[in-house]
Structure 1
Amino acid sequence: MKTFRNIFAVLLILTALPVFAQTDKATTERLVNAQDFVFVATRALPLSSQDVFAVMSSMPNPNASGSIALTGAQYDLRIKKDSVIAFLPYYGRAYQASMNPDDSGIKFKSKDFKYVKKERKKGGWTITIEPNDVKDNQRLTLYVSENGYGTLNVLNNNRQSITFNGFISEPKAKK
């Protein structure tokens, strides 16, 4: 019985860990102000459409909520003072299709971009990024909470908008 209680306690602790904040307020503020962080996407929320629902319902264990868990892959948006690098999936309707299969998803590298950071009244930040040197006209709006959680909204002239939930973290040092 004591072993059962210990196993139960460990499982309870492990399931409660994701509830805690990703970073503390000081670390999040430092990362946002330094303009050097990574937004790691954990869920994708495409616009509601019959096409996306049809694809989702054909998958095993379909999720009726319309959100897609992004497990197993590292989808992110890397922001530095001199560059923005996006590697995110895309689910939704494209109004203008690309003939290159490598153009799927939201993938770009930009050295020429507009970066606007505004502090929100109830805490956190709204960061707007508009790359000038990428093929599609895109606008990325990142809402960051004080504890490091974020919501990224991607608007594109050639596709339906898509939203990602995730968190920000420090960039990993290269070896």
Structure 2
Amino acid sequence: MKNLALLFVFCLTMITIAQAQKSDQENLQAAVDSQTFVFEGRQASGVRGRMIQLDPGYTLNVSPDRVVGDLPFFGRAYTSTPGQTDGGLKFDFTEYTYEVKPRKKGGWDITIEPTESNDIRSVFLTIQESGNASLRITSNSKEGMSYTGTIQ
């Protein structure tokens, strides 16, 4: 009888966990469809192989009317702006194309390309159903950067 009670509690726990995961996936799907989510970077890697762990606060905010990025950069810059002391990838654009493609094994590939004159050429975001994501940014004046993190 004791084993039956333990089996019942175990099954109930597994059902609850499965319901929570389904709810999270539905919320993530809604966020991707509505173009309203925040990517928070945990790790950054440059073209030359260097990789660093990131402190909280490095984000890419996507909303229907604006894309704002505040991410670190290390690597080679092809041009510089006189008087600028911040070498990060900081951008804010309001005119862009947003394309979502579902992945074969779940998740989404998102391509964001600014249509206005900007240093950023393209932003590629791969989101898994678990909420983990990878981000690649291609710039006109700097080497590309890659980031891994989560979707909030």
Do Structure 1 and Structure 2 share a fold, with TM-score over 0.5? yes
Given candidates 47, 50, 61, the residue that maps to 1:78 is 61
Find the structure with the greater CA-based Rg.
2
Q: CA deviation at 1:102?
A: 4.7
Map residues 118-157 of structure 1 onto 2, 5 A cutoff: 118-157=101-140
**SS at the partner of 1:26?**
helix
How far the C-alpha of 1:94 sits from its partner, in A, is 0.7
Equivalent residue, structure 1, for 2:40 = 40
CA contact under 8 A between 1:108 and 1:134: conserved in structure 2?
no
Alpha-carbon RMSD: 1.8
Matches of residues 12-161 of structure 1 in structure 2 within 5 Å?
Answer: 24-48=24-48, 66-71=50-55, 73-102=56-85, 104-161=87-144
TM-score under structure 1 normalisation?
Answer: 0.69
User: Does the 8 A contact of 2:120 with 2:137 survive in 1?
Assistant: no
Partners of 1:113 and 1:135 in 2: how far apart?
A: 10
Which structure's relative contact order is higher, taking Cα pairs within 8 Å and 6+ residues apart? 1
TM-score by length of 2: 0.79
Shift of 1:131: 1.4
Identity across aligned pairs (percent)? 34
Spell out structure 1 runs of 4+ moving beyond 3 A.
none
Distance 1:46 1:157, change over 3 A: same
CA displacement 1:5-38 (0-9 Å, x = unmatched)? xxxxxxxxxxxxxxxx8x8311211111111000
The count of aligned residue pairs is: 131
Deviation sequence 1:58-78 (CA, Å, 0-9, x none):
xxxxxxxx321112x400000
| Runs (5+) with no aligned partner, structure 2 | 1-20
Name the aligned partner's letter for residue 35 of structure 2: Q
Once the two structures are superposed, residues 98-137 of structure 1 have per-residue CA deviations (whole angstroms, 9 ceiling, x without a partner) of: 2232552111111101111111111100000111235314
Q: Which moved more, 1:94-103 or 1:107-116?
A: 94-103
- Quick check: 1:125–1:145 contact (8 Å CA) kept in 2? yes
Does structure 2 retain, via aligned residues, the 8 Å contact 1:110–1:134? no
